[in-house]
Amino acid sequence: MAVWRTALAWGIAAGMAPASLALASGTGGGGGGQMPSFTAPQYDPVREYQQGLADYQAEKFKSAASHFQNVADAQPRDANTWYMLGSAKSGAGDLKGAEKALTKSVKLDPAPIAAHRDLAIAEAKLKENDKANAELAVLNARATACNSACAEAADIKAAVAAVQQALGVVSPSASALPLQGDFKFAALNTGDVAYARAVSLINERRFPEALEALDAAERSFGPHPDILTYKGYVWRKLGRLDLAESFYRRALAEAPTHRGATEYYGELKVIRGDMAGARLMLARLEDACAFGCVEAQDLRRWIDHGGDPAS
Amino acid sequence: MDRSRRRSRLLIFFAAGAALAAAPPPPLHALRWVAPGADGARILTQRPVECLAAPKSASEAYLVEVGRAAFRTPLVLGGAAARAGVECETCHRNGRSNRDFSLPGLSGAPGTADVTSFLFSPKRGDNVFDPKPIPDLGGPKSALKISQAPGSPALERFIHGLVTEEFDGAEPPPAVLAGLAAYVRALSPSACPAATAEPVIMEADAENARRAVRAGLAALAGNDPATAMLMVGAARTALGDMAERYATPDLATDVQSLRVADLDLAAAIADIRQGDPTARLSLETWLAHSEGWTKSLAADEGRSYYDRATLARAIH
């Protein structure tokens, strides 16, 4: 039984010539008859992330931390992965390691409440109360700004309570940090639901909520190039072209011929007036799209129009 | 088929293109919308018969052929649907229905779809999950909600809204819109063959590609390059569908011959775009050569995913 891979695999079936096409009639000198790039094992951070998540949920914290560390090495700007690494290290009793990873996570993305909460708790357990109180101040500031009226109100309130409780902890514990974060329950099906919700929210132009849904999907799938691409798209819609570019580039670093990322990165270049760069993206897309694809067709429209043809 | 082990079916909304070596992709992209638990090998090796009435004039024949080709390519649609490889044919196999269609978030029971979902449409989404049965376009006209009466613009308006709003596609060339309406109008129960279903065979898919190229040539003759490019693009889609069927470990040569045929069509599209008159000759040459490479494909058809048992082995 073939175990289908996630979205990426579905996409391959839709539009890419199979690897067996490469040099199919050639003999080559290496013995395989195919380009090494087609046959050499390729690292898949999404799969490794999911292994880490499975280990974490099975409370195999050391193994989980090892997997998340590998993912973080491959995707060093992925805040969620650093968060998961911190959680796993904490579960393994490595509070210093947890603090370091969670600090990185918060620095990369200050938005998630859970990261501030767990960082503060780790610091409290390490008797670094000044640092823990600094994180608590961040949470309190968020609570003030929210004024019990935002969607995160309950999460913020629970996080503040958890940190205040932890500040009373005297000695470090080898047990896992409190698992209020929903990643404990993250699974592929819940990731599907979150991803579908994100797509719908994007179409509804509810971009901040879409980002939250994409974060939730990422907790299940890891730094999947589809998710990274949609994050880039949302940030582009929010006017943050710098962030959009960083997500497109991350998606392409993971999947160099990703159609969506290539198309949207090309559109971003059109927005910036970099028509040569956009044409380069189009050329890459046409190269990647055996038998044609709508992504190339749409990017060409952008280039011909000098911007969004729908505007 | 152990559908429970298929992960992340909803993550199809990007057509990603990188081959990560860890596990094989599903053999056919149409498996994405086969209902869970259904026999994918059976479903994808047979389809309902097409009920296409003979055209009454040359102009009608042209439009029906344009519409027939446009019906069978995602290039007409836009947004997430087109990126997932969805085309009119996805829900209306051979212009009929698709009782096995199932896509999480879009379908309820197999054979239903919520056409006002934000998943596909930023313009028609209503946040109400109300999937409806997919109608049989080859069935009685009285059972269809949109009037197909000749002279009534209702069908053209409906298809235009479907393309540009329901699927968020770009404005189609006028001949393509007229063609889609002509094709749908030409589907009729009175034109149905005796058999209710037919096997999915290579030659039929190859003929779809040829018919699309012929429609492209006719569009070129009518000085309509936009329609011509879409027609040739539809032919490329047909070749891609065929290539999937030959993507078995031992049929790489067949896939390569399809890729070569595809590159010729890609070059023809580039010529059309640039107004190069040699495009016409390129397409005529392509048609003449197509008989040659389809012969080798036919010889290997029994080992391809056109063969039910071969496909079943790949799925299970």
Question: What is the per-residue pLDDT across B59-99, written as a single tens digit (0 to 9) for each?
Answer: 999 999 999 999 999 999 988 888 889 999 999 999 999 99
User: SS3 of A287, please?
Assistant: helix
**Contact flag B83-A294 (C-beta cutoff 8 Å):** yes
Q: What percent of chain A has pLDDT over 70?
A: 80
pLDDT attached to residue A177 = 44
**Residue B25: pLDDT over 80:** no
What is the arithmetic mean of pLDDT over A116-120?
Answer: 95
User: SS3 of B46, please?
Assistant: strand
- The shortest CB-CB distance from A196 to any of B10, B75, B262 is to B10
- Which residues, in sequence order, are CB contacts of A299 under 8 Å at separation 6+? A262, A263, A266, A267, A278, A281, A282, A285
Tokens linked to A285:
């897309």
Q: How many CB atoms lie within 10 A of CB A151?
A: 10
**Contact flag B29-A10 (C-beta cutoff 8 Å):** yes
pLDDT attached to residue A18 = 27
What is the arithmetic mean of pLDDT over A36-59?
Answer: 76
**Contact flag A255-B17 (C-beta cutoff 8 Å):** yes
| CB of B237 less than 8 A from some CB of A | yes
Q: How far apart are CA B306 and CA B256, in angstroms?
A: 17
> For B140, how many CA atoms within 13 A lie in the half-sphere containing its CB?
2
Pick A127 or A2 by higher pLDDT: A127
Q: How far apart are CA B114 and CA B126, in angstroms?
A: 10
Pick A12 or B58 by higher pLDDT: B58
pLDDT attached to residue B95 = 97
**Residue B239: pLDDT over 80:** yes
Q: How far apart are CA A221 and CA A237, in angstroms?
A: 23
**Contact flag B13-A199 (C-beta cutoff 8 Å):** yes
Pick B84 or B221 by higher pLDDT: B221
Pick A199 or B288 by higher pLDDT: B288
- Residues in chain A closer than 8 A to B172 (CB atoms): none
| CB of B6 less than 8 A from some CB of A | yes
Instruction: Please report the number of interchain residue pairs, chain A to chain B, with beta-carbon separation below 8 angstroms.
Output: 226
What is the arithmetic mean of pLDDT over A150-156?
Answer: 85
pLDDT attached to residue A183 = 52
Contact A32, A23 (CB under 8 A): no
Q: How far apart are CA B233 and CA B73, in angstroms?
A: 8
Query: What are B133's strand-pairing partners?
Result: B112
pLDDT attached to residue A187 = 59
**pLDDT tens digits for A12-22?**
223 222 222 22
Q: Can you say whether the dihedral through the CA atoms of A27, A29, A31, A33 is positive or negative?
A: negative
Extended beta strands in B142-219, E state:
197-199
Q: What percent of chain B has pLDDT over 90?
A: 75
**Residue A35: pLDDT over 70:** no
Pick A181 or A304 by higher pLDDT: A304
DSSP string, B80-148: HHHHTT--HHHHSGGGS--TTB--TTT-SSTTEE-TT-TTT-TTT--S----EEPP-TTS-GGGSSS--
Q: How close A159 comes to chain B (CA, Å)?
A: 31
Q: How far apart are CA B235 and CA B205, in angstroms?
A: 9
Residue of A nearest to B238 (CA): A291
Q: How far apart are CA B71 and CA B75, in angstroms?
A: 10
**Residue A8: pLDDT over 50:** no
A:9-68 residues touching chain B, CB 8 A cutoff: 9-21, 24-25, 38-42, 44, 46-47
Degrees to nearest 5, angle at CA B219 with B218 and B225: 145
pLDDT attached to residue B36 = 78
What is the arithmetic mean of pLDDT over B51-65?
Answer: 97
Q: How close B117 comes to chain A (CA, Å)?
A: 8
- Position A28 confidence tier, pLDDT thresholds 50, 70, 90: very low
Q: What is the helix (H) or strand (E) element at residue B48, kind and residue range?
A: strand B46-48
pLDDT attached to residue A244 = 97
Quick one: three-class SS letters along A61-104?
Answer: HHHHHHHHHHHHHHCCCCHHHHHHHHHHHHHCCCHHHHHHHHHH
**Residue keyed to tokens 């879009």:** B106
**Residue keyed to tokens 């991350």:** A250
Q: How close B30 comes to chain A (CA, Å)?
A: 8
CA nearest neighbour of A235 among A202, A258, A260: A202
What is the arithmetic mean of pLDDT over B283-303?
Answer: 96
Q: Tell me, what's the ipTM? A: 0.89
Long-range contacts of B224-227 (CB under 8 A, 24+ apart): B224/B173, B224/B175, B225/B272, B225/B273, B225/B275, B226/B173, B227/B66, B227/B173, B227/B175, B227/B176, B227/B179
Pick B145 or A232 by higher pLDDT: A232
- Position A247 confidence tier, pLDDT thresholds 50, 70, 90: very high
- Position B124 confidence tier, pLDDT thresholds 50, 70, 90: confident
CA nearest neighbour of B187 among B151, B161, B217, B155: B155
- Position B28 confidence tier, pLDDT thresholds 50, 70, 90: very high
pLDDT attached to residue A7 = 33
Q: How far apart are CA B29 and CA B185, in angstroms?
A: 29
Tokens linked to A102:
């969670």
**Residue A259: pLDDT over 50:** yes
pTM recorded for the entire structure? 0.79
Q: How far apart are CA B175 and CA B231, in angstroms?
A: 11
- Residues in chain A closer than 8 A to B119 (CB atoms): 196, 199-200, 203
Contact A180, A162 (CB under 8 A): yes
> What one-character DSSP code corresponds to residue B47?
E
Q: How far apart are CA A219 and CA A25, in angstroms?
A: 43
pLDDT attached to residue A144 = 93
Q: What percent of chain B has pLDDT over 70?
A: 92
Q: How far apart are CA A54 and CA A222, in angstroms?
A: 12
Q: What are phi and psi of B20, to 5 degrees?
A: -90, 130
A:71-90 residues touching chain B, CB 8 A cutoff: none
**Contact flag B125-A38 (C-beta cutoff 8 Å):** no
- Position A153 confidence tier, pLDDT thresholds 50, 70, 90: confident
Q: How far apart are CA A62 and CA B296, in angstroms?
A: 55
Tokens linked to A147:
């004024």
**Residue A33: pLDDT over 70:** no
Tell me the average pLDDT of chain B.
90
| CB of B256 less than 8 A from some CB of A | yes
- Position B166 confidence tier, pLDDT thresholds 50, 70, 90: confident
**Residue B14: pLDDT over 60:** no
B:173-232 residues touching chain A, CB 8 A cutoff: none
User: SS3 of A105, please?
Assistant: helix
Tokens linked to A15:
């539009």
